[in-house]
A and B are shown apart, each in its own frame.
Chain A
Amino acid sequence: MSATARSIANLRSVTGIPTARLVTWWVIASEIFIFGGLLASYVMHRLAHPEWGIAASHTNTAAGATNTFVLLTSSLFAVLAHKAADAHDGPKAAKFLRLTALGGLVFLTIKGFEWTHEIREGFVLASGGFWSFYYTVAGLHALHVLAGLIIMLVFAVDVAKNENLPRVQCIGLYWHFVDIIWIFLFPLLYIAK
């Protein structure tokens, strides 16, 4: 591949890791503190407030489980995109990136229906401590899904032309991290009742 087809971030490697991937790991490290802080606060309050279990009983476990399945499947597509990119098969990698983004879109659609139902039932941000955490954490996570799917669709344009293939791994790392966050959110918000 010619040097012009790759951004400088994928050429530089002071630490033994291409700079683009290094930046992705730093983003993930900072995200650990953002989500970790929120989740730690939630766990502390949940343990101190047994009445939150009553509020949690109103969340839709089926919707949460379906969304977990959707994100796990989209993670599979993301790693298959990485595999295709490593094989220098740009069009195939782009196809898997678009499928991953589709997974994100399905996730957000389900979340939209779920929230609409809960808000109609009267469970809003100000309904209590549990609902404050629920909308804040799940909302922030949904924003990350939205950002990820937009970036993925933008990257797919170049990747389909066999350009900037290392970006596939970087956006994949971010997507898997978003998946891991949901893996912890699911039992905290939907199972522990």
Chain B
Amino acid sequence: MSHSAQNIAVHSEPETEDHVHHGNYVKIWAILVVLLIISVLGPLTGIRLLVLFAAFGIAVIKAYMVAKNFMHVNVERRWVKYLLITCLAFLAILFAGVAPDIMRHQGLHWNNYAAKQAIQSGSHGDGKHE
């Protein structure tokens, strides 16, 4: 880098040092802890829909709260958001592309005998050596 280019980089420092607004982090933490307690107690009800929400719905809410309030994604440069969304979109494509083969144990010209056998033996075992 030339001297003039270095000078430009150094002089532009204040513009890059963007401080975020710091809110009440203890309050956010307290909400996260309450959500954690709900996610642990929810499954005790035995109601399937409530269990699913308590387990995974609350996980999504907690992750969003951490990303927004602790990582400050909402005030980050917009292409950082694009980067993260692109990653998640590719993950969704991976899931959609592979899931049919993994989640089904037989198709038009194939049969996954090993998976069927694992389910049969595992359902009667103690969780070891399916």
User: A residues bordering B, Cβ < 8 Å?
Assistant: 3, 11-13, 15-18, 25-26, 28-29, 32-33, 36-37, 40-41, 43-45, 47-52, 54-58, 61, 65, 68-69, 72-73, 75-76, 78-80, 82-83, 86, 122-123, 127-131, 166, 172-173, 176-177, 179-180, 183-184, 186-187, 191-193
Contacts and interface: CB of A to CB of B under 8 A. Distances in A.
A53 to B, nearest CB: 9
Interface of B: 9-10, 12-13, 15-17, 19-20, 22, 25-26, 28-29, 32-33, 36, 39-40, 43, 51, 54-56, 58-59, 62-63, 66-67, 69-71, 76-77, 79-80, 83-84, 87-88, 90-91, 94-95, 98-99, 102-105, 115, 118-119, 121-123, 125-130
A128 B71 CA distance: 37
Nearest to A33: B87
Contacts of A36: 87-88, 91, 94
Given A57-B127, A69-B33, A129-B118, A183 B67 contact: no
A165 to B, nearest CB: 10
Most B Cβ at <10 Å: residue of A11, A26, A75, A191? A191
Q: Sort A-B residue pairs by CB-CB distance and give the 5 closest, nearest first.
A: A51-B122, A55-B127, A13-B16, A187-B55, A128-B130
B64 to A, nearest CB: 9
Contacts of A37: 91, 94
Contacts of B54: 191
Nearest to A40: B95
Given A25-B83, A128-B130, 18 more contacts: A11-B16, A15-B79, A16-B15, A17-B16, A32-B84, A40-B94, A45-B102, A48-B102, A49-B115, A50-B123, A51-B130, A65-B36, A79-B22, A79-B70, A173-B71, A187-B39, A191-B54, A192-B51
Contact of B13 (A11, A32, A47): A11
A12 B9 contact: yes
Contacts of B33: 69, 72
A127 B121 CA distance: 13
Given A55-B128, A61-B40, A176 B123 contact: no
19 contacts: A17-B80, A25-B83, A33-B87, A33-B91, A37-B91, A40-B94, A41-B102, A44-B98, A48-B104, A50-B119, A51-B122, A55-B128, A57-B127, A65-B36, A69-B36, A72-B33, A75-B29, A179-B70, A191-B51
B55 A80 contact: no
A81 to B, nearest CB: 11
B10 A3 contact: yes
A78 to B, nearest CB: 7
Contacts of B127: 54-58, 123, 127-128, 130-131
